[in-house]
A and B are shown apart, each in its own frame.
Chain A
Amino acid sequence: MGHKMNTQRPEYVRIPSAITLVSGETARTHLNRLLTSNISNDRLFSRRHSVICDLNGRISSYQLHADLGDQILLVHDDSVSENLRNNLTTGVSWNETVNVSIGDGAIHRVLVYGKGAENVIIKLGVNVNHLNSANWVEYNDSMISVIDADDGTPIYELLVPTRELSSVTMNLEDIGVVEGKKDTAMALQSYKGIIDSSINLSGNNPLHLRLAEIVDLKKGCYPGQEIHARMESRDAIKKTLSSFRSNSQLSIGRHKTSNGLGVEVISSDQFAEEWINLIVHSSDLNVFPGINIQIEDEKISCHLV
């Protein structure tokens, strides 16, 4: 990875998200039986990403968690809402209590990023030393966390109730933060190899997306576990995910390289004059320093980030 990519000033953006709230005495147990991750030890204000897979080990939904103790807030793309909510409301046993409520529009997801973003958060009165990607911190009625701060270009994530949204954005603008573009915030994450919770990963295997940290093969059975365990034990994880930059946008979906090898673009977002792309490809494919992707009659050069 070369220079650090960042905007020249702090920006904020609202990422359209769907919201599902899971509550009830056995909600955590029920959810834990479905997820590839083990959330049984999550605590109040834990933050994590998770996936629910189908029986073939392919992702059915990808979501961001905000653990509220006896309730779990799931933030996800609207395209997976139906899958997720169907999964959550099915198979609730006679002696379990699991309530699934829809909160689309009740809470907004706001990202703050760019040069000086850390100072912005300090000016909001938040102690940035208390922020890490595994936890949320309360900020008035909202919650705040940091997606990634390791390389000195942190991206802060806020979950803001609708009633507080205008005051939060006004506060941000009062201290010089401008409204940015969704593409920019997405590209900054893709550049770091982070998959934003708003990306639809349906149909992909999490082990092909560098999401092994949210696949716990020791937690016991979950839908798709047999497939994942077999892939892992047989060293059969044949695909991986890499970040590439290109001079034009790549359409989401399956394409071929100029050598005829299959790849899948899962995101392509513009940052300044270039696009940052997350691409799934064969682990055997030599992607350094880049690959050429054929889209219709056009050959697009993609350089490894």
Chain B
Amino acid sequence: MAIIDGAGFSLPIANVSERVDVSIDVSDAARAAVKSAIGDQMDTHVLIISAKAGGCSGYLYDMVITERPNESGFQVIDVDGVTILIHDDDSALLNGLKLDFKDSLMGGGFHMDNPNADRACGCGQSFG
């Protein structure tokens, strides 16, 4: 785009985030739910928990089951055969996280209790 082709733009701003050694607590129900979701791909797939900007309270939790990524920078947590990865950039936000699972029609699913959160939104998906 011609308007931005010339000089005068900086290199992308580097985001420096604090890295801490992550410890999380996964309830039996949550572990069973993750195992069930991964199914017979336990050898190749992992659960990645992360935090991204947005939501009512500033950050949104994100959980994905995916093939183990090649990228470096993840901390690996093994919970009775379930591999959970948390990226260093999210470590300060997610350290001490308690992951639970509630099997109910209303309000069921994974629940996060995060000691780093000063506030959380009503739906539980956002914290700040």
Contacts and interface: CB of A to CB of B under 8 A. Distances in A.
Interface stretch (B11-19, B22-30, B108-116): B11-19
B53 A106 contact: no
Interface string A217-243: 000011111100000000000000000
Interface in B22-74: 48, 50-60, 62, 64, 69, 71, 73-74
Q: Give chain B's interface residue range (CB within 8 Å of chain A).
A: 35 or more
A66 B59 CA distance: 26
A138 B74 CA distance: 44
Contact of A103 (B4, B90, B121, B128): B4
B87 A99 contact: no
A285 interface: no
Interface in A57-108: 66, 68-69, 71, 73, 85, 87, 89-96, 99-103, 105-107
B121 A92 contact: no
Nearest to A57: B56
B3 A68 contact: yes
Interface residues of A, number: 43
B102 interface: no
Given A55-B57, A221-B54, A221-B121, A141 B62 contact: no
Contacts of B126: 221
B67 to A, nearest CB: 12
Nearest to A30: B53
Interface string A133-151: 0000010111100000000
B106 interface: no
B59 A91 contact: yes
A69 B125 contact: no
A33 B60 contact: yes
Given A142-B3, A221-B125, A96 B8 contact: no
A99 B12 contact: yes
B10 interface: yes
A65 to B, nearest CB: 13
B127 to A, nearest CB: 10
B1 A102 contact: no
A162 B9 CA distance: 11
Nearest to B62: A93
Question: Which 4 residue pairs are nearest across A and B when measured between Cβ atoms?
Answer: A91-B53, A106-B8, A33-B54, A99-B12
Interface of B: 1-13, 15, 48, 50-60, 62, 64, 69, 71, 73-74, 87, 89-90, 119, 121-123, 125-126, 128
